[in-house]
């Protein structure tokens, strides 16, 4: 089948790395792995992060013009080269889909969305236009692929058939991470030497962008927890960069010198070795949908200590592949996160067993191949339903 792919929040062609861009690329890869031809239909970004209503109306107008242009383009093609289905990844009130619903209706093809969310509390607010558009898109979808179980309670009431919501486990290409896990001693020696880490101390690892949003809050919560653990031998390697870099570094002020190392942004191909060099992946995951780095760490055989977040519980098995820390308030949260880290730092055999189970779980449930099978079933059923 020929699939027109679109990501209104962040195009897979965007030059700035992020988990959202990475998942968009992985979805395209999974669709291709299932044997389908995938075209990136548009790089138009519909996101308005400020609640600027005039800007939202302008984006809506641009989207309408682009939709009409794409319809003309597709209709000019021979029937055998037109898309058989439209696939939109990640739409919500700040980044509605102004293209897919209209183009799908004009071409009479199925409209499929993945990671769609709906927030009733946004009705009438600064993003009301996007809120209503997101709801309309979800209602018109032939299938909604759910990557995050947290979204289901608000999405399901919009569907005329609950079977239209199809769960899909978040996934990655596990190959590089599994390979790195198999060469752990070599990677550990090299990475620890590169960043000046002590081979005799356990290594905690965090991998995340540094932004002035929930990311900075996660870093601050991690620092607060680590301040409670000065009596234990540990060191933290932080991988990431961004506009909040100085604020992130400031969050760790007061922690004993030499305990925290900032690696900056590393190329994706370097990350598997960094995961393999660590002992525990630590990330509070404030407002995290699920976390690509959490998946990657587990694929490399690392146990995870994470905040329960929004959908982190979908990819971390509490007590088996890691430890999930509940959201109970700032002080209690720091105590609980520190306690979870402390327990694993003092139990190397337990964290080793968790890491082994994590790698096995990711390899069995969270792969491109597993995603390809689910997406193929969705396409086969919806194209039959949506075709004339």
**Domains of the chain with bracketed CATH:** 2-171+367-386 (3.40.50.2000), 175-365 (3.40.50.2000)
- Residue 207 neighbours by CB under 8 Å, 6+ apart: 239, 240, 271, 274, 275, 281, 283, 293, 296, 297
Axis-axis angle for helices 184-194, 175-182 (nearest 10)? 90
Q: What is the pLDDT of residue 70?
A: 98
Q: What is the pLDDT of residue 308?
A: 87
Q: What is the pLDDT of residue 331?
A: 60
Q: What angle do CA 233, 238, 241 make, to 5 degrees?
A: 165
Write the pLDDT tens digit of every residue in 214-253.
999 999 999 999 999 999 999 999 999 999 999 999 999 9
Write the pLDDT tens digit of every residue in 77-98.
998 899 999 999 999 999 999 9
Q: What is the pLDDT of residue 302?
A: 97
Q: What is the pLDDT of residue 289?
A: 84
Scanning the structure block, which residue is given the tokens 């509390």?
121
The DSSP result for 129-177, as a single string, is HHHHHHHHHHHH-SEEEES-GGGHHHHGGG-SSGGGEEE----B--HHH
Q: What is the pLDDT of residue 201?
A: 96
Q: Which two tokens stand for residue 12?
A: 């897979």
Beta strand segments in 196-264, E: 203-207, 235-239, 260-264
State whether residue 14 is helix, strand or coil: coil
Q: What is the pLDDT of residue 329?
A: 61
All residue ranges of the chain with pLDDT < 70 are 328-332, 384-388
State whether residue 370 is helix, strand or coil: helix
SS3 content of the chain, % helix, strand, coil (to 5): 50, 15, 35
Q: What is the pLDDT of residue 386?
A: 41
The pTM (predicted TM-score) of the whole model is: 0.92
In whole angstroms, what is the distance from residue 111 CA to residue 257 CA? 54
Give me the residues paired with residue 40 across strands: 5
Write the pLDDT tens digit of every residue in 286-296.
988 888 999 99
Closest CA to 56 of 137, 139, 128: 128
Instruction: Determine how many CB atoms are found less than 10 A away from the CB of residue 254.
Output: 8
Write the pLDDT tens digit of every residue in 172-186.
999 999 999 999 999
Q: What is the pLDDT of residue 387?
A: 42
């Amino acid at each position: 089948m020929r699939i027109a792919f679109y990501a209104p929040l962040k195009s897979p062609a965007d030059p700035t790395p992020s988990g959202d861009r990475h998942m968009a690329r992985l979805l395209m890869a999974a669709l291709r792995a299932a044997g389908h031809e995938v075209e990136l239909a548009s790089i138009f970004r519909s996101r308005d992060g400020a609640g600027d209503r005039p800007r939202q109306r302008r984006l809506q107008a641009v989207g309408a013009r682009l939709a009409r242009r794409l319809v003309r383009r597709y209709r000019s093609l021979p029937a055998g080269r037109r898309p058989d289905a439209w696939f939109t990844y990640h739409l919500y009130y700040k980044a509605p889909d102004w293209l897919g619903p209209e183009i799908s209706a004009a071409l009479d093809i199925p409209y499929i969305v993945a990671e769609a969310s709906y927030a009733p509390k946004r009705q009438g607010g600064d993003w009301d236009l996007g809120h209503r558009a997101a709801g309309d898109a979800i209602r018109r979808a032939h299938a909604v692929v759910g990557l995050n179980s947290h979204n289901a309670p608000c999405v399901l009431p919009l569907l005329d058939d609950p079977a239209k919501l199809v769960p899909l486990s978040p996934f990655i290409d596990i190959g590089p991470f599994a390979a790195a896990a198999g060469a752990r001693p070599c990677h550990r020696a090299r990475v620890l030497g590169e960043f000046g880490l002590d081979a005799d101390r356990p290594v905690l690892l965090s991998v995340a962008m540094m932004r002035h949003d929930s990311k900075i809050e996660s870093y601050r919560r991690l620092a607060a927890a680590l301040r409670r653990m000065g009596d234990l031998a540990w060191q933290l390697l932080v991988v990431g960069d961004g506009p909040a870099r100085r604020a992130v570094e400031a969050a760790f002020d007061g922690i004993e010198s030499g305990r925290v190392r900032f690696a900056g942004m590393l190329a994706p191909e370097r990350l598997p070795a960094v995961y393999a060099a660590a002992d525990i992946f630590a990330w509070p995951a404030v407002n995290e949908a699920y976390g690509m780095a959490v998946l990657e760490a587990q694929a490399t055989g690392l146990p995870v200590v994470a905040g329960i977040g929004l959908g982190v519980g979908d990819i971390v098995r509490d007590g088996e592949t890691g430890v999930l820390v509940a959201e109970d308030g700032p002080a209690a949260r720091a105590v609980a996160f520190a306690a979870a880290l402390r327990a694993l730092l003092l139990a190397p055999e337990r964290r080793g067993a968790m890491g082994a189970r994590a790698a096995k779980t990711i390899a069995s449930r969270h792969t491109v191949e597993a995603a390809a099978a689910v997406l193929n079933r969705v396409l086969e059923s919806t194209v039959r339903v949506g075709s004339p």
